[in-house]
Amino acid sequence: MPRTVLRERLAEVLARPGWVVDGNYGSAREMIWSRVEVVVGLDFSLPIVLHRVVWRTARRLIRREELWAGNRESLRKTFSRDSILVWSLSTFRRRRREYPALLADRPDIVAVRLRSPRAARHWLESLGE
């Protein structure tokens, strides 16, 4: 999706009350963070991240699940430079350092850093209905 389209769609969502944004799009971060109250980070270990990425990719390949606009996983894409597997491995350490530093510069934002699936489950349960 072109950056301008992403930002236009995001502006529409951010203008409404009670929104949730999922993702870590650097090109839209300031737009989101200027209106955000809480940032929740899933900071799981590399083995957990890789297990989930491999499992999700395999499931999508086997079931031929549509990702968006007719896009589907393929073996060629799975083992290419543009693979989500390669991206996960190549960005893991940098992102793990980057987000705490970015959030340290924003004391106006409540940051919740969840280090395990169990911690995420407990945090969600603590929110209640």
pLDDT digits 0-9 by tens, 4-52: 888 899 999 999 998 998 877 788 898 999 999 999 999 999 999 999 9
Task: Return the pLDDT at 23.
Answer: 79
Residue 108 φ then ψ, to 5°: -75, -10
pLDDT the model gives residue 1: 72
Longest dimension (CA), the chain: 44
Domain edges within the chain: 28-127
Q: What is the pLDDT of residue 129?
A: 67
Average pLDDT rounded to a whole number, residues 93-111: 93
Query: Residues 38, 109: contact at Cβ < 8 Å?
Result: yes
Q: What is the mean pLDDT of residues 70-79?
A: 82
Helix, strand, coil percent values for the chain (each to nearest 5): 55, 10, 30
